[in-house]
Structures are given as structure tokens and as C-alpha cells.
Amino acid sequence: MEASFSRRKLVTPEELKALNVRSNTWGACQMLSHLSAILFFGYLHSLVLGTAWMLLTGFCLGVLINFLYAAQHELSHATVFSTRKVNEIFGRLIGFFMIFPRDYDQIMHFAHHTYTQNWEKDGELVREPYTLRTYLLWMSGITYWKNRFFGVIRRAKGIIIEPYIRAEEEAKVIYESRVHLALYILIAFGSVVTQSWAVLSFWIIPMLATKPIHQLQNTIEHLGLSHKDDILENTRSTKTNVLMRWLCWQMPYHTAHHVFPSVPFWKLRELNSKIEEQAGSVHRMGWIEFQIEVIKCLAQKDESKWPQNEVWVVPTVGGRLRVPAE
């Protein structure tokens, strides 16, 4: 989509060709480091189970597991490894672990990229406008996990209600959900038979409990921005540090990712610099700063009552909220 800006003016074809080059080395290093961190904290967690320290190790483990979605996201774009099939295999494995089937997630996410901030077509906007209550429930992970669990069960029953899933895609989404559900039931049955709490202790409980940390990144990327067909106006990047950028697989450079989704995660910083050279600074806020401002706004009125084609969650200036004129 060209919208009100031209991608060709941001990056030349030659620059984009160079940026689009995949690398098994970079992809493997990022994947290995993330999985190794999970194994490390999983090991620490096993040493302190039954003590107060398990709260800390469980927190670290859960955060690392939740942010594996960043890997699934990049794998869906086939930008982690040079070989497309390798991206698919890892994407399916992680999608199972995240209780977020890969094919379903990819269909929804591509609709999000194609129709960013379009209320009727964006796969991530098929929801009612937030009120303060529904937003806080989503942030807590309560409604997030409800949607994930019951969504898999519903689709396994053959019931597709998502408008972004085309008729020709329904069969594979249903089959994928049935495979996932069958394997989850098998794991649960095996845990009962062996009287093992490992699945709950090292996977389910840490992942569910720390979802609010992951939601800090999920909610900041578009909420409170314009619904115009303009990536530079409807997408927000995140002010954060090098550790969090590693954890998020460089997704804090979110505007750059949306402008050119084909560019691998490890080149997004370079791409972001090129975009800012041509277009000026992009929308950017810090995680906590954003949460404070969006909660202030939703405490005043729900999302539907804010201007739809203006930015309404903005950085604080002089300690006060800058609110756009209606």
C-alpha cells in the first residue's frame, strides 16, 4: 500500500535488496540465545522449586517464554532463516508451545499488515473498542488467554468466525487446531498418569502469570494512533534498551518493520535509521509511559469516542497529557 507516503522515497531499491538478505547465522544466534536463556532459567527454576526463589525464576522463565512469540512472528515472515521450510518448522513448534497455531497466527498477522488499523479488515482489530475495564482485562492476560484457549477449541470443532480467514484457508486452520488440541490433551493425560507437575511448573503457570509483561509490547504498537492508511501515522516504535530489543527480536523498531515487513529483524535498526533520515522521527514511546497515558485516556472515555484518524495517545509534555483537538 502506498498510502500518503511513498516507500520508494524512504529506501532505494538497491538499499532494500541489501536489507532483505536473510542470514542463517544471525537467525540461529538469536534463536539459540533465546532458547538457551529459557533452558538456563528452567534449570534454575528446578533448583529452587518449593522456595520463595521460585517466584523470581518462574517470572524470568515466563517472560522468556512469552517473548518467544517474537520468534514466531519473525518465522511467519520467513525472515529468521534463509530456508523457508526451516522457518516453517520452527514456527510450528513455537506456535504449539505458545498455544497459538502457526497457520492461524500467520493468516491473522498478514491481514494485520495488509490492512493495518482498518477496523473491518485488520486481523488484530477484530474486537470491540476498548473501555478501561476491557483494556485492563486484556493487559492482565485474562481475556487474552481466554481467546487463545477457546479459539483453538472452537476452530477444532470446525467453527470459523474470523472474517480474515478465507474459505480456502478454513480446512488447514481447522486441521491445525485439531492437531494442537489432540496433543495438548495427550500431554495433560500423560501428566496425570505420571503424576507430574512439570508441564504446569515449567510451562503453563509461568507463561500465563507473566503475560502482562509481554502485553507491554503488544499494546504499544498501534493503540491510540491514527486509523489512516499511513504506516508512519498508524504504527508506533518503542523506546527501550538493548536487552529488551534482544528479547523482542528487534520489534521495538516496529514502524520500520511495518514499512518493509520483508526485512529481517536484525536489520531493522539500520532500516529505521534510513527511514528517519528521510521522513523524520517516527512515533515512539516507552512501555510504562504509554501505559500511563492510555489508561488516563480510557479513564476519560472509551476508545470509540476518541478521534479515529488522529493520534490520541501521545507523550506527556511538561507533566501534562497532550490531547488532540476533537
Burial readout 64-90 (b: 16 or more C-beta within 10 A, e: otherwise): bbbbbbbbbbbbbbbbbbbeeebbbeb
Residue 7: the pLDDT is 75
DSSP-derived pairing of the beta strands 284-286 and 237-239:
parallel
- The H-or-E segment that residue 28 falls in is helix 24-48
Q: Is the pLDDT of residue 242 over 60?
A: yes
Question: Is pLDDT above 60 for 286?
Answer: yes
pLDDT of residue 11 exceeding 60, the answer is: yes
Q: What confidence score (pLDDT) does residue 86 get?
A: 97
Tens digits of per-residue pLDDT, 147-157? 999 999 999 99
At 281 the pLDDT is: 84
Q: Is the pLDDT of residue 1 over 50?
A: no
CA angle, 219 then 224 then 230, to 5° = 100
Indicate if the pLDDT at residue 4 is higher than 60: no
Q: What is the mean pLDDT of the chain?
A: 94
When pLDDT is cut at 50, 70 and 90, the band that residue 5 belongs to is low
User: Could you give the angle at the alpha carbon of 270 between the alpha carbons of 282 and 265, nearest 5°?
Assistant: 95
Residue 158: helix, strand or coil by DSSP?
coil
Note the pLDDT of residue 325.
41
3-state secondary structure of 245: helix
| Separation between Cα atoms, residue 221 and residue 237, nearest integer Å | 6
| pLDDT of 200 higher than 50 | yes
Helix (H) or strand (E) holding 151: helix 142-156
**pLDDT attached to residue 271:** 96
Residue 278 has pLDDT above 80, yes or no: yes
Tell me if 248 sits within 8 A of 34, measured CB to CB: no
C-alpha cell of 180? Answer: 494442537
Q: What average pLDDT score do residues 200-220 get?
A: 98
**What is 255-322 written as a DSSP string?**
HHHHH-TTS-GGGHHHHHHHHHHHH-PPPEEEHHHHHHHHHHHHHHS-GGGS-TTS--S--EETTEE-
Predicted confidence at residue 324, as pLDDT, reads: 45
Summarize the confidence of residues 17-26 as an average pLDDT.
95
**Distance between CA atoms of residues 303 and 297, nearest Å:** 8
Q: Which residues contact 280 (CB under 8 A, 6 or more apart)?
A: none
Q: Which amino acid is located at 292 in the chain?
A: I
Residue 189 CA: distances (Å) to CA of 85, 134, 309: 31, 34, 50
Close Cβ partners of 123 (under 8 Å, ≥ 6 residues apart)? 107, 108, 109, 110, 111, 112, 115, 162, 164
- Average pLDDT for residues 83-90, to the nearest whole number? 96
**pLDDT band, residue 9 (cuts 50/70/90):** confident
Q: Using only C-alpha atoms, what is the Rg of the chain?
A: 20
